[in-house]
């Protein structure tokens, strides 16, 4: 069981090698779905379910491995999406103190799902967004513009004008 982030990343890297031997992992992060991450965590007692994923950006694609329900290990590969397609599937996002969230539209779904990223995985989320969208999205995730009140991080907005 991967109790530390470095152990977990190593286990996910092994799962990536099994899923796509030619892919080289760039960044891995853990996400859970749902609009209210704290409530979801409390109700599930922190145990992974089918709506929790390890997301790995590789040089070729983005892989979504389910989090095994009995341990915090990568389970079966649920989605493998080409890197170019992922850029169009990421929507609105908010970078917050405890949980950051972004929208992602999975293959076959008509609407986007909110994916929650714990604070511990925020640096990986920033690298993930930056690798996919470059400086523009990274600047947005870092909240480098605001709603008109300089120096007030509570009034930062995302690219769609929503407060974060």
User: Region 86-90: what's the mean pLDDT?
Assistant: 90
β-strand 90-94 against 74-82: which pairing, if any? unpaired
pLDDT tens digits, residue range 124-157? 999 998 888 765 554 555 554 333 333 333 333 3
Note the maximum CA span of the chain: 49
pLDDT (0 to 100) of residue 44: 53
CA pair distance 23, 36, nearest whole angstrom: 33
Residues in the chain: 164
pLDDT tens digits, residue range 2-39? 468 899 999 999 999 999 999 999 999 999 886 665 65
pLDDT (0 to 100) of residue 152: 35
CA pair distance 132, 127, nearest whole angstrom: 9
What is the edge-to-edge ordering of all strands in the sheet holding 113-118? 74-82, 61-67, 52-58, 25-33, 113-118, 99-104, 90-94
Mean pLDDT of all residues in the chain? 77
* 55 compared with 93, residue with greater pLDDT: 55
CA atoms within 13 A on the CB side of 125: 25
């Amino acid at each position: 069981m991967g109790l530390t982030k470095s152990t977990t990343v190593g286990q996910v890297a092994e799962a990536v090698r099994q899923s796509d031997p030619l892919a080289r992992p760039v960044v891995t992060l853990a996400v859970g779905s749902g609009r209210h991450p704290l409530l979801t965590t409390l109700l599930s007692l922190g145990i992974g379910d089918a709506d929790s994923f390890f997301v790995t950006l590789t040089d070729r694609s983005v892989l979504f491995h389910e989090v095994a329900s009995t341990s915090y290990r990568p389970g079966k590969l649920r989605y493998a999406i080409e890197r170019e397609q992922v850029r169009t599937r990421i929507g609105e996002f908010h970078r917050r103190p405890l949980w950051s969230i972004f929208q992602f539209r999975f293959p076959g779904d008509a609407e986007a799902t909110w994916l929650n990223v714990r604070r511990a995985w925020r640096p990986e989320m920033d690298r993930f967004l930056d690798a996919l969208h470059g400086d523009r999205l990274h600047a947005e995730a870092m909240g480098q513009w605001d709603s008109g009140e300089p120096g007030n991080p509570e009034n930062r907005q995302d690219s769609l004008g929503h407060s974060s």
